[in-house]
Structure 1
Amino acid sequence: MLQKCNLRKRMMGSDFELIACCDSEAAAAPYLQAGVAEITRLERLLTEFDEDSQTSLINRNAGIAPVTVDGEVYRLIQRCIRLSELSQGAFDITAGTLKSLYRFNTGNQALPGKHALKEQLRITGFRNIELGSDNQVLLRKKGMRIGFGAIGKGYAADRVKALWTASGLASGVINASGDLTAWGCQPDGSPWRIGIADPGKEDTILRWIPVEKASVATSGNYIQYFEHKGIRYSHNIDPRTGLPARLLKSVTIVSPGAELSDALATAVTIMGADAGLYLLGQLPGVHGIIVDEHNHVLTSEKISTHASI
């Protein structure tokens, strides 16, 4: 009988759990090792915190000169720009500079002044990313930065899944702190499932979702946030205004790919319930669960959820 063989490791700033369903731990070991190696490779390629990474090279040359990158990085940036266009700028890989205006998890703090916001917004915006021929990337303005924090974990999960399925693994899970992709079934034949946490009670499951050949990502304001004048502000910052999102407590996206789910969870958090659900309704195979500021649970059409048991 198959068994769940897992490995836990902190990578890309998150706690990853890799699960491979195999006949034995020995049979699962090559899959797990290959998964760790792939995530480690991607972290070195995409991180902002290693001066030798291609992301750092792009950022150092902002406003100076284009940088030639690997085709893999170039295509990822292309997809990020398309997601920015799709979400009308709610998702934006240049928004990281705005976080320097805030200190999350520090209790109460004031919102930044208009001048500080204006200065940071001046060097923010996906339309200032220029993609040239031969995999060249240029950030048009000095001081600009890109970062893959809102999509990198999902991309890594998709890459590991692609490696594993190409090698014949029929069932597995890649879980990055709750953002996961899964396929096949559990060893007992039941579907994989993920619990959606109640934003007001982190240890309580609000709903659970059966996951089959799908990926799930959640973004919420109940872990990293600050409060100002009695209002809770999320760590997700609107790239268009420079201000933190504050209306939605939790957004969970189910889609065919972890990269897409990861990015859309951020985008919908910024967009709000009405615009977010409208966007999800235009995308085939994409669904969402939203907990709004009044603790109402809103869902897109045709999503299958179950009450907590």
Structure 2
Amino acid sequence: MGCTFELGLVLNDAVQAEKLLDEGVAEIQRIEGLLSEFKEDSAIGKINANAGIEEIEVNSEVIELLKRAIQISHLAKGYFDITMGPLKQLYRFKNKAFELPKESDIKPMLEMVGFQNLQLNEDQHTAYLRKKGMRISLAAIGKGYAADKVRDKWRSAGIQNGYIDASGDLTAFGQDENCNDWRIGIANPDNRKQSLFYIPLNNAAVATSGDYEQHFVHKGKRYSHTVNPKTGLPVTGIKSVSIFSPSAELSDALATAVYTMGMPKGVTFLNQLPQTHGIFIDDENKVTFTKQLQYEAIPV
């Protein structure tokens, strides 16, 4: 899933806590083995390897996740698309020298992107990418799904307080060891060690998309490492978006979608969704909140 996980429980029984933490780690490893695009024997690896060739039988868990991903793509008007893998091949974001690809290079890659070409047969439990060269990546939804599965497993065991932190994307339920709501800091995009706000988090999840870790300035313009599946170009004009919702999976996917939409389109989109909030920071460090969101500003 391209990230590290930190799991936490508030529990007096150390033996039970260790057992539940081990179960949480095992669940994340199971999902990684099922959904990783980098494992040839995973469900996603097999679908990718057989793009344009044949349908691949997968279990109902994978079908349901792919189905929800497609639903989010429809909801977000294509700004979220799990088939955008080919576009990433155009960029080498880890290199110091950054050049935009030519339009002639982007166009053929765009033709291999499109969630509409992911065919699911729920009765036969099969998935099929209609075009050769297509590729599914669940990087923008997989870690949220894993966090939700761990949370659900713990709740089924009667646990009332805990959290799952997937590289800063936090899912929390109940309260912390001091009987207070969990809190998450929204980082300054220009200084990850500094938080701009604290947000209380209870039975909710937050995910952030942004150019904190990787961005490039090309001819005076700042580009993110996130690529717009509609244009094939890196996102510009916005530094970060944090999405709050009841589900880590939903927050994860919407963070990518809304970050790609940018402002004001992303603000308008979020304001139409129930139980969903967002914090935007644009490239001029202007902060915008959607709806009513309780927060605590941190004095500079």
Normalised TM-score (structure 2)? 0.97
Aligned residue among 73, 83, 86 for 1:94: 83
Does residue 132 of structure 2 align to residue 142 of structure 1? yes
Does residue 176 of structure 2 align to residue 175 of structure 1? no
Does residue 279 of structure 2 align to residue 308 of structure 1? no
**1:1-309 map, 5 Å:** 12-132=1-121, 133-308=123-298
- How far apart are the structure 1 equivalents of 2:297 and 2:12? 33
CA displacement at 1:297 relative to structure 2: 0.4
CA displacement at 1:227 relative to structure 2: 2.3
Query: Partner of 1:14: helix, strand, or coil?
Result: coil
Query: 1:108, 1:227 within 8 Å by CA — same for their partners in 2?
Result: no
Runs ≥4 residues deviating over 3 A: none
Query: 1:107, 1:227 within 8 Å by CA — same for their partners in 2?
Result: no
- Listed as ranges, the gaps of 5+ residues in structure 2 are none
Query: 2:164, 2:171 within 8 Å by CA — same for their partners in 1?
Result: yes
The amino acid that maps onto 1:102 is Y
The amino acid that maps onto 2:174 is G
- The RMSD of aligned alpha carbons is 1.0
- How far apart are the structure 1 equivalents of 2:120 and 2:176? 43
CA displacement at 1:68 relative to structure 2: 1.1
Query: 2:2, 2:139 within 8 Å by CA — same for their partners in 1?
Result: no
- How far apart are the structure 1 equivalents of 2:2 and 2:93? 16
Query: Partner of 2:89: helix, strand, or coil?
Result: helix
- How far apart are the structure 2 equivalents of 1:122 and 1:13? 26
The amino acid that maps onto 2:3 is S
CA displacement at 1:283 relative to structure 2: 1.0
The amino acid that maps onto 1:233 is Y
Query: 2:9, 2:161 within 8 Å by CA — same for their partners in 1?
Result: yes
Normalised TM-score (structure 1)? 0.94
- How far apart are the structure 2 equivalents of 1:203 and 1:251? 17
- How far apart are the structure 2 equivalents of 1:294 and 1:227? 14
CA displacement at 1:27 relative to structure 2: 2.4
Query: 1:105, 1:225 within 8 Å by CA — same for their partners in 2?
Result: no
